[in-house]
Amino acid sequence: MSEARLNLAVQKSGRLAEGGMSLLKRAGLRFGYGRDALHRRAENMPLDLLLLRDDDIPSFVAGGACDYGIVGENVLYEAQARSERYGGLEVVLRLGFAGCTLKLAAPKDGSVRGVEDLEGRAVATSYPGLTRRYLEERGIIAEIVEMRGSVEVAPRLGIADAICDLVSTGATLEANGLAAFETVLESEAVLIRRRNGRNGPVAEVAATLIQRAEGVIASAQ
Ligand code: PRT
Ligand code: ZN
């Protein structure tokens, strides 16, 4: 019955989806259809995938709807910075893909060159929890402007003096005349779970999955 199957949350589509599915397949899992578009059923292990927006994965795991999840550290730590609800989540394994860095950046030709220049200024970001905490720890009081996307256009439009956004190649910053001056967080895809998750057969399935994933990651290095 479904009670004895492990529920694993993965991103439905996006930068984590491909790497996540590839890892699971290299770990030997074969997937068929699930009972609806949200689910996929492993054919050779008692495991079901839930296909979700990455931002929803910490909620599903914290709430118990999923036992494990694959998510970026940026999304996990932002959730934890915002709410105590996520305090019971832990990283089981770093997965070695979807690497990126959350960085503070500002217009190349402007007056913001370092964190201390942000005092009394506005910072646009999709990561208000991590950004606020980073600045507060350094004694900087700045206005945080929360944006869901296109954060890099905020300085040009006069909405903010700086941004705090994910960077991988740096091309987006460059194209918008921005330069990074501080690293807030190094991130990669991780496997997460609740600290007090289900025991019994489901925990045994999880242990097998983790062992196989470790093997795949080690052989890729
Ligand atoms: O629909 P859903 O909500 O699930 O997906 P999404 O659009 O929120 O996420 P997606 O698929 O874009 O990213 C998922 C995860 O991939 C992120 O949470 C990170 O953990 C990781 N990741 C790795 C990145 C990047 N690299 C990245 N470069 N996520 C976003 N970016 C964006 C960044 O925000 C900026 O706009 O790419 C741009 C910068 O890239 P460069 O190469 O120009 O520096
Ligand atoms: Zn998202």
State whether 89 and 134 are in the same domain: no
Q: Is 126 in the pocket of ligand 1 (CB under 6 A)?
A: no
Beta strands in the chain (DSSP E): 6-11, 31-33, 39-42, 47-52, 68-72, 89-94, 100-107, 122-125, 143-146, 162-167, 178-187, 189-194
State whether 127 and 159 are in the same domain: yes
pLDDT of 3: 55
Q: Which domain holds residue 91?
A: 2-98+188-220
Mutation choice for ligand 1 from 125, 168, 174, 184, CB with most ligand atoms inside 8 A: 168
Query: Which ipTM was obtained for this model?
Result: 0.98
State whether 87 and 105 are in the same domain: no
Kindly give the distance from the C-alpha atom of residue 28 to the centroid of ligand 2, in angstroms, as a whole number. Answer: 27
Q: For residue 187, give the ligand 1 atom closest to its CA.
A: 20
pLDDT of 34: 86
179 three-state secondary structure: strand
State whether 177 and 203 are in the same domain: no
State whether 123 and 196 are in the same domain: no
pLDDT of 221: 79
State whether 51 and 32 are in the same domain: yes
Kindly give the distance from the C-alpha atom of residue 53 to the centroid of ligand 2, in angstroms, as a whole number. Answer: 6
pLDDT of 36: 93
pLDDT of 2: 46
By C-alpha distance, which of 178, 118, 182 is closest to 152?
178
Q: For residue 17, give the ligand 1 atom closest to its CA.
A: 11
| Sequence-separated (6 or more) residues with CB below 8 Å from residue 214 | 93
State whether 93 and 192 are in the same domain: yes
Residue numbers in the chain where pLDDT is lower than 70: 1-3
Residue 45, domain CATH: 3.40.190.10
State whether 164 and 93 are in the same domain: no
> The whole model's pTM is what?
0.96
pLDDT of 117: 98
Q: Total structural domains in the chain?
A: 2
State whether 13 and 53 are in the same domain: yes
CA end-to-end span of the chain: 38
State whether 115 and 200 are in the same domain: no
State whether 147 and 203 are in the same domain: no
State whether 113 and 90 are in the same domain: no
